[in-house]
Structure 1
Amino acid sequence: MITDLVSIVIPTYNRANLISETLDSILSQTHTHWECLVIDDGSTDNTAEVLAQYCIKDNRFKYLKRPAESPKGGNAARNYGFECSKGDFIQWFDDDDIMAENYLSARIALFTKKRKIVICSGFSTDENLNITREVKLKTDVNLYKEYALWKFEIYTPSVLFRKSFLKESPFNETIIRGQETEFFTRIFYGLNPEEYSIINKPLFYYRSHSKSKTEQSQTYNKRHKEDLLHISKLNFERALKLKDLDLIYFYYKLLLKQFFRSVDNDHNSNAKQVISFLNRTLNERNRILKFKLILFSKIYLSLKKGTILKKHLRSHKILT
């Protein structure tokens, strides 16, 4: 029997100073049929004490700890929360973001028998929850394509899922960078328009810790780049299956960019992965599509620092 119980799953780590604001916003929801599972990823602050107070105040809150045998990180915590959830709907949320009062109710009302997800917009804020901008969403889009092309801006709190649509352990626990991108592109791929709904209504406040993100983006982290390459390869393969030239060109260029960055940072194993992948993938496709890709790559490489890459591509018989 389908009910309107929403399971809100929140991974947390050392956010005792912020999570109370998040939990208070959940308490203020106009849709009251929810459970909130907070999964502790090994906090060393007083998170346990803060959550104990909320669990006493309202038994809809559940405080759980990530199993010791599961890998550390938000993905494993989210998956554990998913396993423990009882709702027919799943809402992933972050431990420092805030819900508007109608965050749940406005989207629950839009579910139909065929609809699997409902997406809303939100406000981007600074660390003190001062609004920096409103995230604007187009409501009539090819969801997978627009998101994969980085033209459709959504965050973890943006999407409410019908639980039956999600598979066991929905998040990839081996990825430590780009988790949401990998998850959303995998979930959105193949969805029909009647299976999702988008409302351009800001229903949450996304707290951006800009300094830490800027510092991370300026540092070349080999492990992170390997994760991002993995995601790019998956989406390039999807683009080829769809025969969508916009997506194909976008991810082909992105793969080349990742090759260059790998070479510049002596990340040779990553660079070799790009070449090997393109060689295998292009050879598996029809001649017309391969010709278009090769023609595009020659034009692109002529405009970029293509000398080194041309040598590698020719040695692997991708460019002749």
Structure 2
Amino acid sequence: MKVSVIIPVYNASAFIAAALQSVLIQKEVVECIVVDDGCTDKSLHIIEEFASQDKRIIVLHHPKRANLGPGPARNLGLKTATQEYVAFLDADDYWKENRFAETQRLFSKHADADGVYEARATEDWNGEIDNSGLTMIRTNPIPDKVFFSYSPFGNDGFFALIGLTVKRKVIDEIGYFSNTLWLTQDTEWMTKLSLKCKLFGGIIHQPVAIRRFHRDNSSRDIERLKRSRVNLCIALLHWAVRENRGEDVKEILTKVLLKYHYELNNLSDKDMLTKKRSDISLLIKLWRIDPALLKDPRVKYFRNLIFHLTVKQSFDFYE
């Protein structure tokens, strides 16, 4: 098994050395593509020192060394990757030893496998690893039905990009990462992956990857994350309609969108008029995506609340 690893880097000088070390000890890694996403700290210097000692490291930059975000950075890496298999790591995270042992076994066993997902744990401020909070699907759903199991669309756990290995050819099926979604472009991409490809569960009860929790984690910007989640669901609904996905898929995406909109809008401290305008704006967006979405019972309930119409069936958006 020969793997291309893609690492987007933006100002991670405190972590990048450990990340690179954890990659380079994996015998399956043939190339490690590090994408400088406009670093202004010492990250690039550290990376270049590693590259001078290990020719597997390939350093890439955006034009004018711009900071474009993780989606465009991963896309640049994907366009450069040469190996059959691709894995992802963030610059502030790291892998455990023998990261690809079970991955390789499953790809060998299942010729039709497009990807293998495995568990990720979190390391806290003190360097303690929380195995009880493993992030990955806790069950083994049917490989082409994973979408219905993983959160936020199912109830069996989350995907983690740093615990995922895919065949390079999946790009032909689902395309590249979003260039416009900043915080949730990985969720969008993995959702498309779960809907169009066959994904097998590898090691899901102990971590193969570790996410470091620190003050600079992008997901700590809660308001930005809330907005990004709404935009994520809108983008996925556009895609699902364009791809003619099943009504069950669109129903689930709509349900999650209404929940995220409720969190962003109705649970905010905005005045009532601003909230009302935001509600109406979302209804218009749904109509523009596909007028048929307005027939969804939850959307009808949402519409009736907005315009003070008679409610025949109630729903809890925050569930």
Is TM-score (shorter-chain normalized) higher than 0.5? Answer: yes
The residue correspondences of 1:130-169 to structure 2 (distance < 5 A) are 130-134=128-132, 135=134, 137-141=138-142, 142-147=145-150, 148-151=152-155, 152-167=157-172
Q: CA RMSD in A?
A: 3.5
Q: What SS is found at the alignment partner of 1:64?
A: strand
What amino acid is aligned across from residue 190 of structure 1 in structure 2? K
1:269/1:113 CA distance change after superposition, 3 Å: farther
Please name the residue that 1:174 is paired with: 180
**2:248 pairs with 1:230:** no
State the distance in 2 between where 1:312 and 1:74 align. Answer: 43
Provide Cα deviations, 1:9-29, integer angstroms capped at 9, x if missing partner: 000011111110111111222
CA contact (8 A) 2:23 2:29 kept: no
State the distance in 1 between where 2:225 and 2:167 align. Answer: 35
**2:43 pairs with 1:43:** no
Length-normalised TM-score, structure 2: 0.77
Compare 271-280 and 37-46 and name the one that shifted more: 271-280
1:20 pairs with one of 11, 17, 25 = 17
**2:280 pairs with 1:272:** yes
1:255 pairs with one of 258, 275, 282 = 258
**2:248 pairs with 1:244:** yes
Provide Cα deviations, 1:153-174, integer angstroms capped at 9, x if missing partner: 1211121010012138610101
Please name the residue that 2:314 is paired with: none
**2:39 pairs with 1:7:** no
CA contact (8 A) 2:188 2:236 kept: no
1:109/1:220 CA distance change after superposition, 3 Å: closer
**2:206 pairs with 1:209:** no
Please name the residue that 1:318 is paired with: none
How far 1:214 sits from its partner (Å)? 7.2
Q: What SS is found at the alignment partner of 1:171?
A: coil
Provide Cα deviations, 1:44-94, integer angstroms capped at 9, x if missing partner: 111222112211221111122123497711111111111111111111110
What amino acid is aligned across from residue 116 of structure 2 in structure 1? V
Q: Among the aligned pairs, what percent are the same residue?
A: 21
The structure number with the bigger radius of gyration is 1
2:90 pairs with one of 91, 94, 116 = 94
1:253/1:205 CA distance change after superposition, 3 Å: closer
**2:59 pairs with 1:67:** no
CA contact (8 A) 1:235 1:251 kept: no
What amino acid is aligned across from residue 59 of structure 2 in structure 1? Y
Q: What SS is found at the alignment partner of 2:208?
A: strand
**2:195 pairs with 1:197:** no
What amino acid is aligned across from residue 181 of structure 2 in structure 1? I
Provide Cα deviations, 1:192-243, integer angstroms capped at 9, x if missing partner: xxx32102242111112368567521x3689636524524634875999423
How far 1:96 sits from its partner (Å)? 1.2
Please name the residue that 2:102 is paired with: 106
How far 1:297 sits from its partner (Å)? 5.7
Q: Which runs of 5+ in 1 are unaligned?
A: 315-320
How far 1:138 sits from its partner (Å)? 0.9
1:269/1:190 CA distance change after superposition, 3 Å: farther
What amino acid is aligned across from residue 97 of structure 2 in structure 1? E
Length-normalised TM-score, structure 1: 0.77
